[in-house]
Amino acid sequence: MSETVLIAAGGTGGHISPGVALAEILINKREHFKISDVYIHSLTRNKDNPDLISPPCEVLWHSMPQFKAVYFLIFPFQFLIQFVITIFSFQKRSITSVIGMGGYSSLPAILYAILFRKKLFLCEQNCIPGKITRTFHNFAKKVALSFPIREEVFKTKESSVIGNPIRLKVIPEHLNIRQNENLHDSKKNILNVLVLGGSQGARQLNNMILKTMENPEISQKFKFRLLTGNSLYEETKNKSKGNTEIISYSNDMKPNYEWANIVVARSGAGVLAECLVYGLPMVLIPYPFAADNHQKENAEYVENQGAAVIIHSTSDDPSPLVKHLLDWKTNPEQLKEMGHNSLRLSNVNAAYLTISYFFPH
């Protein structure tokens, strides 16, 4: 029997990108996994998301409201309207399986699978499972994990640590080969530092890098490429005085990862997965207000595995970053070892293995 699969990938890029990666595999290996049709279910406000402008399959848009206490009286009616629309849309397309990528926007698809007894699979990107995963894991046939989790919430359910699915356009051309091995040679004068604040940017990271570049020794030994986020580009550009390459956003991250020797970033699961497949050492500055503090847990896992160092700070003080960079410049073997640890943690085939786990053939 062939499956009609819906991927609920709605909230943020951290949910959308791995969902698109799974859709790519389902489309490309349709006959292998006995798939008839594939759909993505996403929020209307994500129509400008780069991964959904030219998606691998049809996107079913919805406007599921996010619960806010101030609107608690009208929320049930808004939710009910969107859920009824979801039911008719899914029944029209004969959905047989739902893959939930997490986030509140996946709720209508998950409820549909439960109420109409369709196959339900969940993907959890972070070391601390999100509310959707914690609430509905007992209804799922299988749960695919990106990292080992600390909370013992899957004792009674089948789960597997596979890795975070990565889009085809991001995957390195030379698989399983150490990325930029020669760039960690101590004879090289300049090391390239890629700074990622996420699609919305991070003022703290932007300002920290600009201050770091004011250090004369840093400016001589490192080159920075700073992805500011669209909303913070002009502000950061106007503040910049040093030799920093400032970009608002990049739709094609592969050249940036190939250029980099070191990454400075938040610790969202998507960024971590992409840096790992390129074998990149990381300086992680977790976003302190992330739900359940999951970025801190993600960062600590990668640091404990020897692939990153963490700066726990909400200020733009450059001192910790300057210290790490100068230490690595004088001790390139440490940086090289971190790169190998990074590559060891990666799973470039996570998307294919996740689909194989959900739909064994």
Task: Specify the pTM.
Answer: 0.91
Q: Is 199 annotated as a binding residue?
A: yes
Q: Which of 164, 108, 94, 171 is nearest to 136 (CA)?
A: 108
- Quick one: pLDDT at residue 147? 93
Q: Is 319 annotated as a binding residue?
A: no
Instruction: Give 55-91 as a DSSP string.
Output: -SSEEEEE-PPPP-GGGTTTHHHHHHHHHHHHHHHHH
* Tokens 């530092």 found at: 193
- The per-residue pLDDT string of the chain (361 residues; one tens digit each, 9 = 90 and over) reads 699 999 999 777 889 999 999 999 999 999 999 999 999 999 998 998 889 999 999 999 998 877 665 566 777 888 898 899 999 999 999 999 999 999 889 999 999 999 999 999 999 999 999 899 999 999 999 999 999 986 666 665 789 999 999 999 999 877 544 455 544 444 557 899 999 976 555 888 888 888 998 899 998 899 999 888 777 777 777 777 767 888 887 888 999 999 999 999 999 999 999 999 999 999 999 988 877 788 999 999 999 999 999 998 888 899 999 999 999 988 888 998 999 999 999 999 999 999 999 999 7
Q: Is 244 annotated as a binding residue?
A: no
Q: Is 12 annotated as a binding residue?
A: yes
Give CA–CA dist 175/308, Å, rounded: 21
| 91-95 long-range contacts, CB within 8 A, separation 24+ | 91/116, 93/4, 93/6, 93/37, 93/39, 93/60, 94/4, 95/4, 95/5, 95/6, 95/39
Do residues 127 and 316 make contact, with C-beta atoms less than 8 angstroms apart? Answer: no
Q: Is 14 annotated as a binding residue?
A: yes
- Quick one: pLDDT at residue 241? 75
Give CA–CA dist 171/277, Å, rounded: 7
Give CA–CA dist 124/126, Å, rounded: 6
Phi, psi angle pair for 37, to nearest 5°: -145, 155
Q: Is 30 annotated as a binding residue?
A: no
- Quick one: pLDDT at residue 76? 83
Domains and CATH numbers, the chain: 3-161 (3.40.50.2000), 181-345 (3.40.50.2000)
Question: What are the Cα distances from residue 28, in Å, to 17, 35, 57?
Answer: 17, 10, 11
